[in-house]
């Protein structure tokens, strides 16, 4: 066996107690000077490095730290600054320009942001306009030197590789309208268009950027750097032979530019596509993910082997989830890798950057001890890497520690949390469940029409109303126990009542209670179902300074008591009009949580589906005739390789139907999805068999309408008639135009009128004004029928 060293791919930026976030926000709100900001963030950065050093990681990443986002860092170091942010005068501050690209200014809209592969991290999409990129600063070198000087660390500079950087960028033309980055009520950014990149465009872009990458690498080599990590997760997605040729020549040139530098071409999130060709590239090393590869990297390794003279950087500890590893099992994995690649230099590391997990579990003493013992956040994962490295090198006695890890995992798996007899029985019994509505759509919709007696083109909203400062403050005081449960409930009821009155006054047809009791559409359900637990400091970066704290789905999920019934029934008691119940569907809950990995995700989804089915039944029994089950994160959770889509979508549909098929024909099931791109999942939308679906539309009207021309959709549908991402109040005429366009392809008796998404992030005045216009537009159109 060759040499084995421990390494890391990236460390969380946030700091144990979100010190990084606070420094950013203090700087943005002018509470601290730039000098102070630089000082505070440097402290976080150095302490992150020191921690990795103390944990015993041999190859520590440098330059992965960011003031906002690593893709933006890459753009910025190459001078890729959209024109609208380019300083008119020299005095303009660099750091402020950097932040303005990410956050926008009064005069200029921020660059778009979108999800980093299938994670919940958002990067800033590079805008490649007419430009002459140049090397503004050798950022990796700067951080390499800092780590060396301050801490004596011989770090491994990390940067986004050229292929990933350029394929994620969008090429932007002067005459195209500027795109807008915005956040909807799910708290996630939505993209308008993603860059499509064929080989020719890719080659053109590579021609512009390759000289800069080469310069960076050459300077690193000259400064004595040994290893450098070029992140190329795009190489696990699909690309053709023509693009492969571009990739080959690019890497050939890169390594030639700095022949002594050990370039590691790092992939992660799934298995490498075109394994044979990529591992043969003339670079010093290849990084592969052996955790999220569905066994495919190992299979390819065993089938095709690995070049003898190359470094294999093997991701062997899960960098995307929070569970402790059974190190005996991982040791076995390492042994198989060594068996197939016997003489190579081996680097052991997490499967991807630890950016996607919280910093440390040591601040979570409140958790049940069996659960706590079965967790592993970033620091603990690095410890696992070190142990594993020692165990294969036999440099330290590790057996008892390996045993301990196995015991911890076994204990959690065998605990009652994960062995709930009723839940397990219900899961087993699923084979006897039809999981379909009683009657087919045509039959049940008639009963629903008769019961609900709604007008033509019924109007409604997506669920949430503005979460004003007072709503958030009151919830915070309640959490701090400054106000009692009773006072808090009364407050929520007052808000519900106020908004029922507003909706009645607006003459909307189907009302909602407004979701004032929810901070977040996933966290809220996590708090009410068993099998979930929140953490205190389990923060992960979502975008910029924004962090989320995904709940842990650690055990069997079961229904405890009604979750939404009280608020919904209260709202219904105030009006003659139907009030729509509002739930979050299983896949969205899963995609925004840390989910146990001892059983298939589909089983977890079904457990959640079964629990929510009970909630749906309670709502129905309590006299709620319309129930909406939101599945906004369905699309973003799609696997990176298309061949896996069918199973993912089938499982998603099944768990959605578990939630929704237990009702009478008369009960109307709605669902909502908020993304503009959905051609890929049209069939899935049909399969969900919801009576009514609402979809975000207004920012890509043309495309969506066109999809419906080809795709005959026979159920009811609301294509959002105005954009909720902007504070602008639309004109009646615009809304009418949107409705009419949709009515060209969708029969009027199937069409619903609603905004694009929830109204949680909007102001009250603008919400009311916009809804008023929406109802007015609807009334005018109804007259034409």
Annotated binding site for Zn(2+): 672, 674, 687, 696, 757
Residue nearest to Zn ion (CB): 674
Q: How far is the CB of 708 from ligand GLN (least distance, A)?
A: 20
* Region binding Zn ion by CB under 5 A among candidate stretches 547-555, 586-594, 613-621, 671-679: 671-679
Cβ closest to ligand GLN, residue 41 vs residue 659: 659
Q: Cα-flanking dihedrals φ and ψ of residue 500, to 5°?
A: -65, -40
Active site residue 486: no
Task: Select the binding partner of residue 603 from Zn ion, ligand GLN, none (C-beta < 5 to 8 A, by kind).
Answer: none
Residues placed in the known binding site for 5-methyltetrahydropteroyltri-L-glutamate: 18-21, 115, 120, 592, 636
Q: How far is the CB of 506 from ligand GLN (least distance, A)?
A: 16
Cβ closest to ligand GLN, residue 186 vs residue 357: 186
Number of chain positions touching Zn ion (CB under 5 A): 3
Q: How far is the CB of 681 from Zn ion (least distance, A)?
A: 15
Note whether 548 binds Zn ion by CB under 5 A: no
Task: Select the binding partner of residue 718 from Zn ion, ligand GLN, none (C-beta < 5 to 8 A, by kind).
Answer: none
Task: Select the binding partner of residue 126 from ligand GLN, Zn ion, none (C-beta < 5 to 8 A, by kind).
Answer: none
Task: Select the binding partner of residue 521 from Zn ion, ligand GLN, none (C-beta < 5 to 8 A, by kind).
Answer: ligand GLN
DSSP bridge partners of 230: 159, 265
What is the DSSP track for 714-755? -SEEEE--S-SSSSPPPPHHHHHHHHHHHHTTS-GGGB-B--
Torsional sign, CA 194, 200, 201, 207:
positive
Task: Select the binding partner of residue 463 from ligand GLN, Zn ion, none (C-beta < 5 to 8 A, by kind).
Answer: ligand GLN
Cβ closest to Zn ion, residue 674 vs residue 743: 674
Note whether 717 binds Zn ion by CB under 5 A: no
Among 264, 579, 674, 745, binds Zn ion (CB under 5 A): 674
DSSP bridge partners of 581: 627
Task: Select the binding partner of residue 464 from ligand GLN, Zn ion, none (C-beta < 5 to 8 A, by kind).
Answer: ligand GLN
Cα 298 to Cα 392: distance, rounded to the nearest angstrom:
18
Contact 656, 589 (CB under 8 A): no
Residues placed in the known binding site for L-methionine: 462-464, 515, 630
Q: How far is the CB of 361 from ligand GLN (least distance, A)?
A: 29
Note whether 757 binds Zn ion by CB under 5 A: yes
Most distant pair of Cα atoms in the chain: their distance? 82
Stretch 613-652 residues interacting with Zn ion (CB under 5 A): 632
Q: Residue 191 corresponds to which tokens in the numbers above?
A: 């993209």
* Binding letters toward Zn ion, positions 1-30, x by CB under 5 A: ------------------------------
Contact 284, 226 (CB under 8 A): no
Contact 206, 166 (CB under 8 A): yes
Which residues are near ligand GLN by CB under 6 A? Answer: 184-186, 462-464, 515, 521, 582, 630, 632, 672, 674, 757-758, 760
Task: Give buried/exposed letters for 460-487 (b at 16+ CB in 10 A, else e).
Answer: bbbbbbbbeeebeebbeebeeeebeeee
Task: Select the binding partner of residue 596 from Zn ion, ligand GLN, none (C-beta < 5 to 8 A, by kind).
Answer: none
Q: How far is the CB of 192 from Zn ion (least distance, A)?
A: 15
Which conformational region is residue 274 in: left (phi greater than 0), alpha (psi within -120 to 50 degrees), or beta? left
DSSP structure class, residue 58 = S
Q: How far is the CB of 185 from ligand GLN (least distance, A)?
A: 4
Cα 15 to Cα 37: distance, rounded to the nearest angstrom:
14
Which residue from 747, 746, 753 is spatially nearest to 707, judged by alpha carbons? 746
Q: How far is the CB of 39 from ligand GLN (least distance, A)?
A: 38
Q: Find the DSSP H helices in 156-295.
A: 162-168, 199-222, 241-257, 275-279
Cα 589 to Cα 718: distance, rounded to the nearest angstrom:
23
Task: Select the binding partner of residue 354 from Zn ion, ligand GLN, none (C-beta < 5 to 8 A, by kind).
Answer: none
Cβ closest to Zn ion, residue 619 vs residue 674: 674
Cβ closest to ligand GLN, residue 139 vs residue 513: 513
Q: How far is the CB of 73 from Zn ion (least distance, A)?
A: 30
DSSP structure class, residue 617 = H
Cα 608 to Cα 478: distance, rounded to the nearest angstrom:
28
* The pairing of beta strand 182-183 with beta strand 189-190: antiparallel
Contact 346, 321 (CB under 8 A): no
Cα 154 to Cα 225: distance, rounded to the nearest angstrom:
8
Which residue from 674, 671, 676, 734 is spatially nearest to 705, judged by alpha carbons? 676
Cβ closest to ligand GLN, residue 186 vs residue 611: 186
Residues placed in the known binding site: 18-21, 115, 120, 462-464, 515, 592, 630, 636, 672, 674, 687, 696, 757
Q: Which of 356, 618, 625, 725 is catalytic?
A: 725
Cβ closest to ligand GLN, residue 317 vs residue 695: 695
Cβ closest to ligand GLN, residue 353 vs residue 671: 671
Cα 511 to Cα 282: distance, rounded to the nearest angstrom:
62
Beta strands in 618-774 (DSSP E): 626-630, 668-673, 692-695, 716-719
Cβ closest to ligand GLN, residue 319 vs residue 466: 466
Cα 558 to Cα 606: distance, rounded to the nearest angstrom:
11
Task: Select the binding partner of residue 760 from Zn ion, ligand GLN, none (C-beta < 5 to 8 A, by kind).
Answer: ligand GLN
Q: How far is the CB of 477 from ligand GLN (least distance, A)?
A: 23
Give the rounded distance of the alpha carbon of 159 from its chain centre.
21
Residue nearest to ligand GLN (CB): 758
**Residues of this chain that bind Zn ion (CB under 5 A):** 632, 674, 757
Residues carrying an active site annotation: 725
């Amino acid at each position: 066996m060759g040499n084995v060293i421990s390494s890391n791919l990236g460390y969380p930026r946030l700091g144990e107690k979100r010190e990084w976030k606070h420094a950013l926000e203090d700087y943005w709100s002018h509470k601290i000077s730039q000098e102070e900001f630089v000082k505070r963030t440097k402290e976080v950065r150095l302490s992150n490095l020191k921690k990795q050093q103390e944990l015993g990681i041999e190859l520590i990443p440098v330059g992965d730290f960011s003031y906002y986002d690593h893709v933006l860092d890459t753009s910025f170091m190459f001078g890729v600054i959209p024109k609208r942010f380019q300083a008119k005068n020299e005095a303009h501050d660099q750091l402020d320009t950097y932040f303005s690209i990410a956050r926008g200014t009064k005069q200029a809209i921020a660059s778009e942001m979108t999800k980093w592969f299938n994670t919940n991290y958002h990067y800033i999409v590079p805008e490649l306009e007419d430009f002459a990129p140049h090397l503004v600063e050798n950022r990796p070198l700067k951080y390499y030197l800092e780590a060396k000087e301050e801490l004596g660390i011989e770090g491994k500079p990390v940067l986004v590789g050229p292929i990933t950087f350029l394929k994620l960028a969008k090429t932007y033309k002067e005459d195209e309208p500027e795109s807008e980055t915005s956040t909807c009520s799910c708290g996630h950014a939505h993209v308008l268009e993603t860059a499509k990149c064929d080989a020719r465009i890719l080659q053109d872009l590579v021609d512009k950027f390759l000289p800069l990458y080469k310069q960076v690498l050459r300077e690193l080599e000259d400064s004595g750097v040994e290893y450098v990590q070029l992140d190329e997760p795009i190489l696990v997605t699909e690309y053709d032979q023509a693009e492969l040729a571009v990739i080959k020549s690019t890497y050939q040139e890169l390594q030639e530019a700095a022949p002594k530098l050990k370039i590691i071409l790092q992939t992660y999130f799934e298995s490498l596509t075109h394994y044979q060709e990529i591992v043969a590239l003339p670079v010093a090393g290849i990084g592969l993910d052996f955790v999220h590869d569905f066994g495919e990297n190992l299979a390819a390794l065993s089938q095709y082997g690995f070049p003898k003279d190359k470094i294999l950087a093997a991701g062997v500890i899960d960098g995307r989830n929070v569970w402790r590893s059974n190190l005996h099992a991982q040791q076995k994995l390492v042994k198989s890798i060594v068996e197939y690649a016997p003489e190579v230099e081996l680097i052991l590391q997490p499967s991807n950057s630890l950016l996607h997990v919280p910093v440390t579990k040591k601040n979570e003493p409140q958790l049940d001890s069996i659960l706590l013992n079965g967790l592993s956040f970033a620091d603990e994962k690095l410890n696992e890497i070190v142990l594993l490295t020692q165990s294969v090198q036999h440099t330290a006695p590790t057996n008892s520690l390996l045993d301990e890890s196995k015991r911890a995992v076994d204990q959690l798996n065998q605990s009652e949390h994960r062995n709930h007899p009723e839940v397990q029985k219900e899961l087993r019994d699923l084979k006897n469940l039809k999981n379909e509505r009683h009657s087919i759509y045509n039959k049940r919709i008639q009963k629903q029409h008769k019961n609900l007696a709604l007008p033509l083109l019924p109007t409604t909203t997506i669920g949430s109303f503005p979460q004003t400062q007072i709503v958030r403050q009151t919830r915070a005081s309640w959490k701090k126990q400054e106000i009692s449960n009773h006072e808090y409930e009364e407050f929520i009821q007052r808000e519900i009542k106020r908004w029922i009155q507003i909706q009645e006054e607006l003459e909307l047809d189907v009302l909602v209670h407004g979701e004032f009791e929810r901070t977040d559409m996933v966290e809220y359900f996590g708090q009410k179902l068993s099998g979930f637990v929140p953490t205190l400091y389990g923060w992960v970066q979502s975008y910029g300074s924004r962090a989320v704290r995904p709940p842990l789905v650690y055990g069997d999920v079961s229904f405890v008591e009604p979750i939404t019934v009280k608020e919904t029934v209260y709202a219904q008691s105030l009006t003659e009009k139907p009030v729509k119940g509002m739930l979050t569907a299983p896949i969205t809950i899963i995609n925004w949580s840390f989910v146990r990995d001892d059983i298939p995700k589909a089983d977890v989804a079904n457990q959640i589906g079964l629990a929510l089915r009970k909630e749906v039944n309670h709502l129905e029994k309590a006299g709620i005739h319309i129930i909406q089950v939101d599945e906004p994160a369905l699309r973003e959770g799609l696997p990176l390789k298309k061949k896996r889509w069918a199973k993912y979508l089938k499982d998603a549909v099944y768990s959605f139907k578990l939630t929704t098929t237990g009702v009478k024909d008369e009960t109307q099931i709605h669902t909502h999805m908020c993304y503009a791109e959905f051609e890929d999942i049209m069939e899935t939308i049909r399969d969900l068999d919801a009576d009514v679906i609402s979809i975000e539309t207004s920012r890509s009207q043309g495309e969506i309408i066109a999809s419906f021309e080809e795709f005959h959709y026979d159920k009811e549908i609301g294509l959002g008639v105005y954009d909720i991402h902007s504070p602008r109040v639309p004109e009646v005429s615009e809304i009418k135009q949107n409705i009419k366009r949709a009515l060209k392809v969708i029969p009027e008796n199937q069409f619903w009128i609603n905004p694009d998404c929830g109204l949680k992030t909007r102001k009250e005045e603008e919400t009311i004004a916009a809804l008023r216009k929406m109802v007015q537009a609807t009334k005018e159109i109804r007259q034409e029928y």
